[in-house]
Amino acid sequence: MRRLSILLELARLGAHSEPCQITSKELGEKIGCSQQTAARWLKKLSEEGLIDQDVGSRGQTVSLTSEGIDVLRSLRKDLNEVLGEVPQSLKLTGRIVSGLGEGSYYVDKEEYKKQFQEKLGFNPYPGTLDIKLDRKSLRIKERLHSTQSKRIEGFSTQKRRFGGGKCFSARVGDMEAGIILPDRTHHKKIIEVIAPEKLRDKFSLEDGDEITVEVEI
């Protein structure tokens, strides 16, 4: 199980498509083990040919090999046989809540805006619509973490590091949109939705209103 959890976590970070930079400590925090245990598992997976591990002067990068990707594909096939095929879209429902104003700060960063335009096909309004998901939608959100997605890369400035995450194309009513799943967040029950226009104004939304977002997968 530990082998699969590590491969899944690396895939969530985009290591199935390109090398990702991650320390043993960071990996340990994500899968719930010590730094030493995570380091031993990375070495073991590398010896088994499931990952490529490169340690250089700028840190450690890890990528899944074709054999590692095949392990995950086999797992997906087995799960599909048991649970049925994953639908081409998923619906997330919840109630609108006020954020802390951080959405506009992050979304308006030029490095992020360029990626949103490239990956989602629109220039986002500088802000997010925060939705607190109901119980059923929280379970669906967990499925998204292990679903192939578009990757938003982090970047660094002289002052700080801005993290990356996953994003999915979505729709709110007749408006194209996208949802963001940051690699690191304290708001596990909330999804952040971006769109070309301010969704609160577009649909006359207020805190507490129920809303559904259709996510393309």
**Mean pLDDT, range 160-184, rounded to an integer:** 89
Residue 149 labelled as part of a binding site: no
Residue 94 confidence (pLDDT) above 60: yes
Domain boundaries, the chain: 2-83, 89-216
Q: Say whether 178 counts as a known binding-site residue.
A: no
Q: Which CATH superfamily is domain 89-216 in?
A: Riboflavin kinase-like (2.40.30.30)
Is residue 7 annotated as involved in ligand binding?
no
208 assigned to a ligand binding site: no
- Please state the three-class secondary structure of the chain as a single string: CHHHHHHHHHHHCCCCCCCEECCHHHHHHHHCCCHHHHHHHHHHHHHCCCEEEEEECCEEEEEECHHHHHHHHHHHHHHHHHHCCCCCEEEEEEEEECCCCHHHHHHCCHHHHHHHHHHHCCCCCCCCEEEEECHHHHHHHHHHHCCCCEEECCEECCCCEECCEEEEEEEECCEEEEEEEECCCCCCCEEEEECCCCHHHHCCCCCCCEEEEEEEC
Q: What is the pLDDT of residue 80?
A: 72
User: Annotated binding residue at 197?
Assistant: yes
**Does residue 32 have a known ligand-binding role?**
no
Ligand-binding annotation for 206, yes or no, is: no
pLDDT of residue 86: 54
Residue-wise pLDDT for 123-159, tens only, equals: 999 889 999 999 889 888 887 877 777 888 888 888 8
Question: Would you say 199 is a known binding-site residue?
Answer: yes
Answer yes or no: is 83 a known binding residue.
Answer: no
CATH of domain 2-83: 1.10.10.10
Q: Using 50, 70 and 90 to split pLDDT, how confident is the model at 14?
A: confident
Asked whether residue 4 is marked as a ligand-binding residue, the answer is no
Taking only the tens place, the pLDDT of each residue in 20-30 is 888 899 988 88
More confidently predicted of 36 and 100: 36
